[in-house]
Structure 1
């Protein structure tokens, strides 16, 4: 799961902020609030992003990959980006922020 915000570097925090602008077109909520971004690491300008999708067969994977790469590369200090699609831990609705749940009409 994503490291605590206090443990992210300034550049990693900026990448997370940029990723909050990447909207899942099916759900209309950004990837960060959906809980789909598991980890962001930036070392010497190289950004590694571990993420998942809501379903294994998500037809929008390539489009999201392009949008996530573009968002990461928009951050000062990031010169390249690799996305690692992972399936463990499996995504579930409990990983969404309260904002995402309210926006989707999910009440706990």
Structure 2
């Protein structure tokens, strides 16, 4: 069973193609659970109409399933609560020039 830090680290390989920031630092990951190798992730998008949404979700699934301790990953798209820039890490805000 992978720990949450390892799962989040794997998800950092998924980069938003428009913002060029990983989905973890963007604050798109709301919840992550590992039940004996079956990982479930609640993830949002910066906008409900985000054209990269399906791509980001597929890449997140693939990034997790590359881990030795993960047999299956399910990415659930959630829109509540709505995403806001306050969810971003300081590094992500700095990268985008948001202070």
Structure 1-normalised TM-score? 0.87
Choose which of 15, 34, 41 in structure 2 pairs with 1:42.
Answer: 34
Choose which of 4, 21, 25 in structure 2 pairs with 1:12.
Answer: 4
Matches of 2:38 and 2:18, distance apart in 1: 29
Q: Give unmatched runs, 5+ long, in structure 2.
A: none
2:72 matches 1:87: no
Runs of 4+ with deviation above 3 angstroms: none
Structure 2-normalised TM-score? 0.95
**1:66 offset after TM fit, Å?**
1.2
Residue of structure 1 equivalent to 2:58: 66
Q: Give unmatched runs, 5+ long, in structure 1.
A: 1-8
Matches of 1:103 and 1:88, distance apart in 2: 25
**How many pairs are equivalent?**
99
Residue of structure 1 equivalent to 2:95: 103
Matches of 2:60 and 2:72, distance apart in 1: 12
2:25 matches 1:33: yes
